[in-house]
Structure 1
Amino acid sequence: MASKNWSSKDIPSQQGKNIIVTGANSGLGLEATTVLAKKGANIIMAVRNLEKGKEAAKKIKTRQPDAKLDLMLLDLSDLHSIHRFSDEFHSKYSQLHILINNAGIMAPANRLSTKQHFEVQFGANHLGHFALTGLLLDIIKKTPNSRVVLQSSNAHNESFMKPNIHFDDLNWEKSYNRYQAYAQAKLSNLLFAYELDRRFKSNNISAIATAAHPGWTRTNLQKSFGFLVFNILNYIVGQNIHTGTLPILRAATEENISGGEYFGPTGLNGLRGYPKLIKSSDKSYDEELARKLWDVSEKLTEVKCNFR
C-alpha cells in the first residue's frame, strides 16, 4: 500500500466499472463523481433532487464531455424511494462494482423524521444505506471483486459527542441531542461496514467493505452549526473539497486491500491532510454491538440481507 501523499493521480483506471455514488449532486459526492468519471467509470448518480442532479451532471459534462453518467432518483429518507431505485437499477444493470454510500445529513437543530418516522440522521445516514446495500446485495455478490464503501466521520469517536448506539431510543423520541444523534449515525456506518465485510468473508463472497472519513472539509453540511462554524472555522480549519474527498476515493479504489480498512486524513488531529490507513474507535470494532445493530436494522427496514 502506498505510503506517500496519496492523490487522485494514484487511482487506477476505472474503465468498465459501474459505480453508484449517493449524494452525487453536491459536496463530496459530486467531487467523487467527477474524479471517477475522469477515470472512465460509468457513474450512477443517486440524487434526492433530479433538477439539482441535472445541473451537477451538466457541470461535469462541461469539463469532461465523455463522462458516462446515469442520473437516478434516490431519497435515502424514504424506504419506498430506495426500493424504486433498486428496481430501476436492476432493470438496467447486471453488475455493480462499487457502491459508495456517501450521502449524509448533519446535526439539524430540530429533530426531523424520515418518511417512515425514523430520526432523520439515523434513518437516512444509516438505515437508508443499510437498506440500499441489502436490496443491491444480489448484484454485488455476483460482481467479482465488488466493493461497498461507507462514509463515516470523526464524530464517531469524539468523546464530547458521547457516541453510542442508543437501542432504548434509536430515534431520539425521548430527548433529542443533535450532536449525539449524528455521532450515533456515524458510528452505525462503521459498525455496518465492518460487519458487512465479516459477512462477505464468512460466506466466501468475492466482495469487500471499507470505510472513510473526510476530516473537516468545507461543505454545506456545516450550515446547521451557524455563522461561527460555517463562515469562520470552516475556512480556518477546513480543507478543500478535493482533498476532503480523497479518503473515500482511496477506500473505493485502493488495490491490494482485504476489506475492513478505514481511511482518513492524519494531519491536525485527523481534521485535514492526505488520506492514510487509520484505526477507528474501539467501539466501532465491537462485533456483538454490530450484530445487534444489524438485526435491528433488518427489522426496522424490513430488508433482509441474503448472503447465500
Structure 2
Amino acid sequence: MFYKLRAFWSQSFGIPTPPLTEKNLPDQTGKVFLVTGSNTGVGYQVASILYAHNAKVWVAARTESKALAAIEDIKKEHPKSQGKLEFLYLNLSDLTTIKASAEDFLSREDKLHWLNNNAGVMTPPPGSKGAQGSDLTYQTNILGPFLFTKLLLPILKRTAENEPKGSVRVSWAGSLAVDLQSPNGGAVWTKGKDGEETLDGEKDNRLAYGVSKAANYFFGTEFGKRFGDRDGVLHNSYNPGNLASELQRHVAAQYPTFAIWLLHKLLYPVIYGAYTEIYSGLAPELTLQKDQGGYIIPWGREGSVRPDLIDEAKKESGQASRLFEWCERVTKEFA
C-alpha cells in the first residue's frame, strides 16, 4: 500500500518540468515514426510535435475519416513543416485485420525509427468484446499491439542496423493503473474453454484495465529481453500521466460522482502526456545498456513500478514470460 501511495503522489503532484518538448526537440528530418491512436488525444499531440520537426509520421487509427481530418488539422497547425503525414488503417480490436495493416505499412515504408503503441481503451462498458469475442480491453490493449509489434520487428531491426545504438525504439502505453489497479504479480489466470491457461478478470473491467496496463509494462521488459539487445532496438513503457483525454469517456458512468470530481482535479492537458511519450521515444540519454525494458513517468523521467511487477519481469517463467507465451498462442493463427 505504501508503494502505491508513493507512486500515486510522485506521478501526480510536484512533477518536474518536462525535459523534452516542442521547444527543444531536434530536427527529425529523415526519421519515420508510427503512432497508434494518433487521430486524437495524446497521440495526436505526439504526431503534431514530430511532424512540426519535419518527421514522417504514420497516423495509425481505426476510422479513416477521423484520421484524415486529424492529418489536415496538423498540417494547418504547421504549414512550414517539411515532414509527411500518412494514414494507416489499424483496428487493434480485430486480430484478423492486423497482419494486413502491417503488410500495408511494410509495402510503403523501408524504415521505422519509433513504434509508439499509444492506442488503447479504458474501462469500456462491461461486457464489451473484440471481434474475436475476447474482452475488448484485453484484445485492444494487449493482443492487438502484441501482434502488430511482432509483425514489425524485422523493419525495426533493419532500421537499427544503420542508426546509433538505442535510437530505434518501441514504446508501450502503461498508466498509473500499472501500480494502482493491477493485481499482485500483474495478472490473473484461469482455464479457458479449450483447457489452456488464459487471462482472467474480464468480469471486472477496472481490473482488466489494470492487468492490460501491467501487460504493457511486461511487454517493454519481455520484448527487450527477447529481441531488443539482439536487434539493437530499445523497448520501454511509460505512464503518460493523468490526462484530460478522450480515454476518460467511459469513466463517468462507472464511478461515483465524488470520484469523478476528484479525478478531474488531477488531470493535466494532453500535451504533457505527449512530452512523456516523446521522451520515451527520443530522449538521447536513454541507452540500450541501462534502459532496456525501462519505465518512463511524467513528464519524461526514468521511473519504476511496484516491486512485485519488477520481480515477475525478471523471473525466467514469471508473469511477463507467461503473458508473452499466451499472446503467442492466441495470435498465432493471425500472424
- Hey, what's the Cα distance between the residues in 1 that align with 2:270 and 2:18? 17
Superposed structure 1 runs of 4+ greater than 6 Å apart: none
The SS at the match of 1:45 is strand
- Hey, what's the Cα distance between the residues in 2 that align with 1:142 and 1:295? 25
Match of 2:62, as an amino acid? R
Write the mapping of 1:11-90 to structure 2, written as runs, cut at 5 A: 11-65=25-79, 66=81, 67-90=83-106
Percent identity for Structure 1 against Structure 2: 26
Deviations 1:166-221 (A, max 9, x none): 22164558x61111000000000010111111123553x21110111122100111
Match of 2:209, as an amino acid? Y
TM-score normalised over the length of structure 1: 0.88
CA contact (8 A) 2:228 2:235 kept: no
The 1:88–1:229 alpha-carbon spacing in structure 2 relative to 1, beyond 3 Å, is farther
Specify the alignment match of 1:118 in structure 2. Answer: 134
Shift of 1:230: 9.4
- Are 1:262 and 2:295 matched, yes or no? yes
- Hey, what's the Cα distance between the residues in 1 that align with 2:321 and 2:18? 36
Shift of 1:12: 2.4
Write the mapping of 1:1-308 to structure 2, written as runs, cut at 5 A: 5-8=18-21, 9-65=23-79, 66=81, 67-144=83-160, 145-158=167-180, 162=183, 164-168=186-190, 170=198, 172=200, 176-201=203-228, 203=230, 205-226=231-252, 228=257, 232-258=261-287, 259-265=292-298, 274-285=299-310, 286=312, 287=314, 288-302=318-332
Q: Which runs of 5+ in 1 are unaligned?
A: 266-273
Q: Which runs of 5+ in 2 are unaligned?
A: 1-15, 161-166, 192-197
Shift of 1:281: 1.9
Match of 1:261, as an amino acid? G
- Hey, what's the Cα distance between the residues in 2 that align with 1:161 and 1:229? 22
- Hey, what's the Cα distance between the residues in 2 that align with 1:61 and 1:245? 18
Deviations 1:153-178 (A, max 9, x none): 110111x65363122164558x6111
- Hey, what's the Cα distance between the residues in 1 that align with 2:75 and 2:286? 32
- Hey, what's the Cα distance between the residues in 2 that align with 1:230 and 1:147? 36
CA contact (8 A) 2:33 2:58 kept: yes
Count of aligned positions: 292
The 1:5–1:110 alpha-carbon spacing in structure 2 relative to 1, beyond 3 Å, is closer
